[in-house]
């Protein structure tokens, strides 16, 4: 009796675990054209949006001909566009360590692609999240390679209480990374046991 129960339990587990549904080709997002379309489209769209907004910032809110810093208020004293060059990661961590940051970015890019390969082809929301992560990672990596190790940040929020007084300036790539991580965590929590078949 106990043997039959265990067998039944194992069968139920195998139905909800994509790693137990046969060869990689039968379930992996890597072998699904629609999954690639979602993943790469969002990654490219995110990268382009990040690039275009950074170019706008460089041309419109950079220092004027006299060296004065220009900014654009969105909500007076709370939200504004202001040009900041960040040579480190968030909060200026590892500032000036471009080589180390590039190595970390390379590892992150490989890790995101590995997650995509090991993702079930029907986990569409997770594919969206990974596309956002790839786009954000590529955006900041581009800056570190082609902008002398400096990431262009331009969006500043100040709610006048820690840690938003002000919060470190950020960009579209940073937003994509944060939102992507958030969505990915939520999908891991809420969809693991309800994977469609």
Respond yes or no: is residue 143 known to be catalytic.
no
Which residues are paired to 153 by β-bridges?
Answer: 84
Backbone angles phi, psi at 35, to 5 degrees: -65, -40
Angle (nearest 5°) at CA 115 between 153 and 138: 25
Question: CB count, 10 Å around CB of 76?
Answer: 7
Taking the C-alpha atoms of residue 153 and residue 132, their distance in angstroms, rounded to an integer, is 18
On the question of a cis peptide bond just before residue 46, with omega within 30 degrees of 0, the verdict is no
Q: Nearest Cα to 179, choosing from 6, 52, 46? A: 46
Q: Single out the catalytic residue among 12, 77, 143, 174.
A: 174
Respond yes or no: is residue 17 known to be catalytic.
no
Q: Single out the catalytic residue among 12, 50, 64, 153.
A: 153
Taking the C-alpha atoms of residue 119 and residue 113, their distance in angstroms, rounded to an integer, is 10
List active site positions.
153, 174
């Amino acid at each position: 009796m106990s043997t039959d129960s265990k067998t039944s339990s194992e069968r139920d587990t195998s139905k909800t675990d994509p790693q137990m549904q046969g060869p990689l080709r039968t379930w992996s997002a890597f072998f699904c054209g629609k999954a690639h379309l979602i993943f790469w489209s969002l990654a490219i769209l995110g990268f382009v949006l990040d690039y275009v907004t950074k170019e706008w910032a460089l041309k419109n809110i950079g220092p004027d001909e006299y060296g004065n810093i220009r900014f654009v208020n969105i909500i007076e004293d709370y939200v504004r566009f202001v040009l900041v060059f960040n040579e480190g990661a968030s909060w200026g961590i590892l500032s000036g360590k471009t080589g180390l940051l590039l190595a970390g970015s390379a590892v992150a890019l490989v890790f995101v692609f590995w997650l995509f390969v090991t993702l079930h082809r029907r986990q569409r929301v997770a594919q969206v999240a990974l596309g956002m992560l790839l786009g954000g990672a590529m955006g900041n990596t581009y800056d570190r390679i082609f902008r002398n190790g400096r990431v262009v940040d331009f969006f500043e929020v100040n709610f006048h209480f820690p840690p938003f007084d002000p919060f470190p300036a950020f960009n579209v790539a940073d937003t994509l990374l944060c939102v992507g991580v958030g969505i990915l965590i939520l999908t891991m929590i809420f969809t693991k046991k309800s994977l469609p078949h």
